[in-house]
Amino acid sequence: MNTVSVDLSLEQIKKALKRLPPDEKIALWRMLDEDIDRAAIARRFATSVKTIRRTYAHLSEQEVMKDAIKAVRAVRNAKNRS
Domain ranges for the chain: 38-81
In degrees, to the nearest 5, what angle opens at C-alpha 38 toward C-alphas 40 and 65?
A: 75
pTM of the predicted structure, to 2 decimals: 0.48
**Residue 12: predicted pLDDT:** 95
Measured at the CA of 74, the angle between CA 41 and CA 52, to 5 degrees, comes to 40
Q: What is the pLDDT of residue 66?
A: 92
> Is residue 17 a contact partner of residue 28, using CB atoms and an 8 Å limit?
yes
The whole-angstrom separation of Cα 82 and Cα 73 is 14
**Does pLDDT of 3 surpass 80?**
yes
- Give the Cβ contact number of residue 25 at 10 Å: 13
Question: 14-64: per-residue pLDDT in tens?
Answer: 999 999 999 999 999 999 999 999 999 999 999 999 998 898 899 998 998
